[in-house]
């Protein structure tokens, strides 16, 4: 390990040391200092974000953007996603603040686990070898299992953790078996070496089986049909800020790693897996959206909606072209911020630990909190992909990519299903604006306002003026695009 | 001259069988501890695969991965057991079916 490697890994080193220190804070008698826990976490995230930006400039100076024997890359794609993850975790920290204060559980461990999950996601998105990807994935998953069961005296939370753990562990086993078969056929675990080996190998059954198992494991992490059964239960049972984490940062991490593996390693093998993934994508969109219609619990409704969104994101992966890769980047960002805004609004309605999560709870919100009801409408429109919100730009890229790649039927289905999704998003709007609300109190605290306002600005601004985002996505996807031979070779 | 070791195919069959036993165990067993054991079995099937391929390619990459898998499996068992203990405290049972508060 050289100094070069240390600089590459600096953000991950900082966040893991910081998370360990957060874990030690209660030992030195700071257990009751809950406000300092929040601020320590936010400062830690700020330092990490600055380090990521600093590293990205430093890395541009040297020709080779990989380190640790080619296992770790700090390309534009990784930096783009790392900054999304850090921002999302910072917002989840703000969302958790009041929620945790009322719940009497220790906050230091909570933030520490969030930090470790962030470290795992950041390491995973930089992974250039299936080893580093797997390690990052497991660090993220193990932290998520504990966080889902963090309210350990609640039966719902513990049950959610149990279901998430059993299905998550099985899916990592399946993913690993797939990886071992790919290793057996290609003789390497490095993504670029696998890509090179596959360009000369004729398709065989072991390889096909391995890729399918790997895809199944990844589909579980991004909750695509038929690997979605855990999603509604876990989302409902987990503490609401953790549900926000699972449905935004954790999901974006799954999109990113799916894209990285399939674009870098399996691009020469597209014909064999794209039809299977197209079926999974179609099923996710149909089943996710149709099941969401009948839900009365907002957390379950958003869980099914997130299954449908996994289906949309898969469009960008199966199309395997420049539009698709940029679409995955843009869509992840747009999806994360629209969803975090919705979770902030859901938390404003909370009256006790599991309150504020039925559709009825939204009744009359337009009179109780007109501005936040309006913000909620914008977030819902963004998830539905209606202009002038940012969600439209994301879906535009994904659908255009699918059409360009010859998956026209899938794009048509996606548009139809977006229309269906507007039906249940509008159910919330109707409840907010047209129903007489009971005079229930809303807890609109400063941290929730900050999160909702930031998400609102991002969603509207990028919807009206998307050029900077599109340029950034083009720039960030350049390295992977060149390796996957979907755009002309450009620089490093 | 070292003793002849079985071919890679033999190891693949062993690991495939172990993996299938583990997967079936997770599906049909209702006791959480047994489910955890079945999951460990799946992980170990992967390890056999990786080591067999590593030997065949005469590269250490697969064996390095095996070390990581063993480490992660240990962490996973720790988290799993913690969740099982908490479930037992709340429900006085570690049967998977008893946990049915969430309808799904």
pLDDT tens per residue across span A212-235: 999 999 999 999 988 999 999 999
Which residue of chain A is at minimal alpha-carbon distance from B87? A158
Residues of B in contact with A130 (CB under 8 A): 65
Is A167 an 8 Å CB contact of chain B? no
Residue B92: pLDDT above 70? yes
Assign A437 a pLDDT band (cuts: 50, 70, 90): low
Between A329 and A32, residue with greater pLDDT: A329
Q: Is B45 a domain residue? A: yes
Token couple for A124: 């995973």
Domain that residue B53 falls in = 30-99
Identify the residue whose tokens are 């420049």.
A322
Residues of B in contact with A155 (CB under 8 A): 90-91, 99, 101
Q: Is B24 a domain residue? A: no
Closest by alpha carbon to A215, among A175, A255, A177? A175
Smallest CA–CA separation between B62 and chain A, in Å? 8
Between A7 and B80, residue with greater pLDDT: B80
Is A169 an 8 Å CB contact of chain B? yes
Q: Is B36 a domain residue? A: yes
How many domains, in total, are found in chain B?
A: 1
Is A391 an 8 Å CB contact of chain B? no
Q: How far is CA A106 from the centre of its chain?
A: 26
Best probe of the A interface among B36, B52, B69, B97, by most A CBs < 10 A, is: B69
Closest by alpha carbon to A395, among A458, A343, A326? A326
CB contact under 8 A, A162 and B59: no
Q: Is B84 a domain residue? A: yes
- Mean pLDDT over residues B76-85, rounded? 95
Residue A64: pLDDT above 60? no
Closest by alpha carbon to A214, among A325, A317, A289? A317
Residue B104: pLDDT above 70? no
Q: Is B59 a domain residue? A: yes
Residues of A in contact with B49 (CB under 8 A): 177, 180-181, 184
Domain that residue A45 falls in = 3-489
Q: Which string of DSSP letters, residue by residue, matches A12-66?
A: HHHHHHHHHHHHHGGGGTTTT-HHHHHHHHHHHHHHHHHHHHHHHHHHHHSS--E
Minimum mean pLDDT range among A221-230, A437-446, B44-53 = A437-446
Assign A1 a pLDDT band (cuts: 50, 70, 90): low
- Mean pLDDT over residues B8-34, rounded? 93
Residue A331: pLDDT above 80? yes
3-state secondary structure of A72: strand
| Helix extents (H) in A356-407 | 365-368, 370-384, 390-404
Cα A230–A235–A239 angle (5° rounding)?
A: 135
Smallest CA–CA separation between B6 and chain A, in Å? 16
pLDDT of residue A285: 95
Residue A490: pLDDT above 70? no
Please give the Cα distance from A181 to A194 (Å, whole number): 12
pLDDT of residue A349: 83
**CATH code of the domain containing B70:** 1.10.287.3510
- DSSP-assigned letter for residue A385: T
How many domains, in total, are found in chain A?
A: 1
pLDDT of residue B88: 92
Q: Is B77 a domain residue? A: yes
CA dihedral for A222, A226, A227, A233, sign (positive or negative): positive
pLDDT of residue A440: 61
Residues of A in contact with B100 (CB under 8 A): 159
Please give the Cα distance from A248 to A205 (Å, whole number): 35
Between A488 and B82, residue with greater pLDDT: B82
Q: pTM score > 0.90 for this model?
A: yes
- Rounded mean pLDDT of chain A? 89
Residue B1: pLDDT above 60? no
């Amino acid at each position: 390990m050289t100094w070069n490697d240390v600089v590459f890994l600096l953000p991950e080193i900082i966040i893991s040391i910081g998370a360990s220190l957060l874990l030690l804070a209660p030992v030195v008698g700071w257990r009751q200092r809950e406000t300092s826990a929040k601020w320590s976490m936010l400062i830690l995230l700020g330092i990490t974000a600055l380090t990521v930006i600093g590293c990205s400039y430093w890395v541009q100076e040297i020709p080779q953007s990989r380190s640790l024997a080619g296992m770790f890359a700090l390309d534009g794609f990784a930096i783009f996603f790392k900054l999304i993850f850090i921002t999302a975790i910072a917002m989840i920290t703000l969302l958790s603040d009041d929620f945790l204060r009322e719940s009497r559980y220790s906050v230091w461990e909570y933030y520490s686990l969030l930090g470790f999950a962030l470290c795992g996601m950041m390491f995973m998105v930089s992974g250039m070898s299936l080893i580093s990807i797997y390690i990052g994935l497991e660090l993220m998953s193990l932290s998520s299992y504990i966080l889902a069961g963090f309210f350990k005296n609640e039966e719902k939370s513990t049950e959610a953790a149990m279901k998430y753990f059993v299905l998550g562990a099985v899916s990592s086993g399946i993913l690993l078996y797939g990886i071992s078969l790919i290793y057996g056929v290609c003789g390497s675990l490095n993504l670029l070496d696998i890509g090179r080996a596959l360009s000369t190998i004729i398709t065989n059954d072991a390889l096909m089986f391995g890729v399918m198992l790997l895809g199944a494991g990844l589909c579980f992490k991004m909750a695509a049909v038929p690997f979605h059964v855990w999603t509604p239960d876990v989302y409902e049972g987990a503490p609401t800020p953790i549900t926000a984490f699972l449905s935004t940062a954790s999901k974006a991490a799954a999109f990113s790693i799916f894209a990285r593996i399939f674009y870098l390693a399996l691009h020469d093998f597209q014909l064999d897996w794209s039809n299977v993934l197209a079926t999974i994508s179609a099923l996710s969109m149909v089943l996710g959206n149709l099941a969401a219609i009948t839900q009365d619990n907002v957390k379950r409704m958003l869980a099914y909606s997130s299954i449908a969104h996994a289906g949309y994101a898969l469009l960008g992966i199966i199309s395997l072209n420049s539009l698709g890769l940029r679409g995955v980047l843009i869509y992840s960002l747009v999806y994360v911020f629209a969803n975090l805004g919705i979770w902030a609004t859901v938390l404003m309605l909370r009256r006790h630990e599991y309150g504020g999560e039925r559709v009825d709870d939204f009744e009359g919100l337009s009179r109780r909190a007109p501005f936040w009801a309006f913000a909620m409408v914008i977030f819902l429109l963004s998830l539905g992909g209606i202009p002038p919100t940012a969600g439209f730009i994301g879906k535009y890229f994904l659908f255009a990519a699918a059409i360009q790649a010859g998956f026209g039927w899938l794009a048509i289905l996606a548009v139809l299903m977006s229309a269906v999704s507007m039906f249940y998003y509008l159910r919330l709007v109707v409840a907010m604006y047209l129903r007489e609300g009971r005079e229930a109190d809303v807890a609109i605290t400063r941290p929730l306002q900050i999160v909702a306002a930031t998400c609102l600005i991002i969603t509207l601004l990028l919807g009206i003026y998307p050029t900077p985002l599109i340029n950034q996505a083009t720039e960030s996807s350049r390295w992977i695009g060149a390796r996957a031979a979907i755009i002309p070779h450009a620089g490093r | 001259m070292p003793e002849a070791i079985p071919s890679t195919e033999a190891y693949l069959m062993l690991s495939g069988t172990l993996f299938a036993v583990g997967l079936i165990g997770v599906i049909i067993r209702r006791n959480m501890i047994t489910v955890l054991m079945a999951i460990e079995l799946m992980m170990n099937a992967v390890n056999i695969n990786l080591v067999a391929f590593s030997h065949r390619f005469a590269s250490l990459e697969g064996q390095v991965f095996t070390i990581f898998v063993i480490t992660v499996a240990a962490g996973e068992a720790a988290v799993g057991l913690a969740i099982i203990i908490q479930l037992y405290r709340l429900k006085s049972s570690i049967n998977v079916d008893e946990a049915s508060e969430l309808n799904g």
